[in-house]
Amino acid sequence: MKSEYLQKLKSVLSDTSFEWFSDHISLTHENNFEVGHLMPVKFSEENVVKISKKATEIASLTDKPFLLENITYYYPIPGQSMKEENFISEILEHADCGMLLDINNLYINSKNHNYDPIEFISKIPVDRVVEIHIAGGSFKHGMLVDTHANSVSIEVWDLFDEVCRRVPFNSVIIERDSNLNKLDDLIDEVNIAKQIMKKNGVYKNKIRKRL
């Protein structure tokens, strides 16, 4: 990892008040070439070691928790030797860091790659989940895409309901990057999230201590 990047990140962290910080489990550059997007990485033991080392370096910059987030991927990378849930679990354990669980990303991957998202959740260390992301995707080119452009689907709300029963998280963010014409629609989604959390007895106005 570039020392210049670590120095700049440390400076930002030193000047900012926060409870935790996060980044995605993804590839953003290779051999000095900037990809310009969050690309998936191969699920392998080799990458468990590489990513765990980088996550440990980043986490050492501050005494606040560092989280890693699951992303969407639209094609299987050749040569993979692990399932995503096992891959993520090993990284979290090796790096001793928390997780940002993006429920929309999980749902999209489960549909595009035909697996059970509940089984995925049962395989990850849920006690390490600190933050939840919820968003709406789009159907493009014959698959679901993580666009953050639409309302949260019923299926994602149902998955969030299940997560509330299984995962002791701290906070929830509803993401929307475009189609922001009606603020009331976003407020309605915030209220839906609150209702689901209250129903499951997990809604709180303060952050629980963890890590």
Q: What is the pLDDT of residues 53-95, one digit of tens each?
A: 999 999 999 999 999 999 999 988 898 999 999 999 999 999 9
- Tell me which amino acid residue 173 is: I
The mean pLDDT of the chain is 92
Q: Read off the pLDDT band of 1 (50, 70, 90).
A: low
pLDDT confidence tier of residue 182, bands split at 50, 70 and 90: confident
Residue 207 binned pLDDT confidence (cut-offs 50, 70, 90): low
* Confidence at residue 83, expressed as pLDDT on a 0 to 100 scale: 96
Q: Any bridge partners for residue 200, and if so which?
A: none
Strands 171-175 and 129-135: parallel
Which residue type occupies 164? C
Residues 42 and 44: their CA atoms lie apart, in Å, by: 6
The pTM (predicted TM-score) of the whole model is 0.93
* Number of CB atoms found within 10 A of residue 28's CB: 12
Which one-letter DSSP state was computed for residue 171? E
Residue pair 146/135 in contact by the 8 Å Cβ criterion: yes
Q: Which token pair is 120?
A: 């995925």
- CB contact set of 159 (below 8 Å; sequence gap of 6+): 103, 106, 107, 117, 118
Token reading at 168: 């002791």
Q: What is the mean pLDDT of residues 152-159?
A: 97
Domains and CATH numbers, the chain: 3-199 (3.20.20.150)
Q: Summarize pLDDT for 5-28 with one digit per residue, the tens.
A: 899 999 999 999 999 999 999 988
Residue 205 pLDDT > 90:
no
Indicate the pairing of strand 27-30 with strand 129-135: unpaired
Q: HSE on the CB side for 15, CA within 13 Å?
A: 6
